[in-house]
Structures are given as structure tokens and as C-alpha cells.
Amino acid sequence: MLPVLPVFLLGAASAPLMKKLIRGTVKGSVKLAVDAKRVAHEINEDLSDIAAEAAAEKFAADIQGEPAVPSPARKTSTK
């Protein structure tokens, strides 16, 4: 019974340390997830701004009667 007692005491003594280690790991993971979500949100905003600018340029070009993007040459069928 003597070898079981030191193993139990070792487990009991290391429990607070393990709790701190696990808590630190979870807090770090949550912070990383929040930061990743923030970065993804910023990228989404940037892409939305670019799409809105492109749509505005296309709309302005359509009003002025100029093609904003050159259309590909159309094939004319000769029969």
C-alpha cells in the first residue's frame, strides 16, 4: 500500500498546477478565436467595400454610356 500513497499525493499536489495550465490553454484558445473572428470580419468589410466601389463605377459608366469593362468580341455568324 505504500507505493499507492505517494502517487495519490502527487496527483493531489499537481491538481492546482494542472488547473492553471488548462485554464491558461483555454483562455489562449478563446483569445485566438476572437482575434481570428475580428480579422475575418475586417477582411469581409474590405471585400464589401471593394464590391460596392466596383458596382458604383459600373453604374456611373452605364449612366455615361461607356462600357466600364470591355465586352468580348462577338462572333457573327455568316450563313
DSSP output for 15-60: HHHHHHHHHHHHHHHHHHHHHHHHHHHHHHHHHHHHHHHHHHHHHH
Q: Bigger pLDDT: 3 or 21?
A: 21
Q: What's the pLDDT at 75?
A: 60
pLDDT band at 64 (very low <50, low <70, confident <90, very high): confident
Backbone dihedral region for residue 72 (phi beyond 0: left; psi -120 to 50: alpha; all else: beta): beta
Average pLDDT over residues 49-67: 88
Is the pLDDT at 26 greater than 90, yes or no?
A: yes
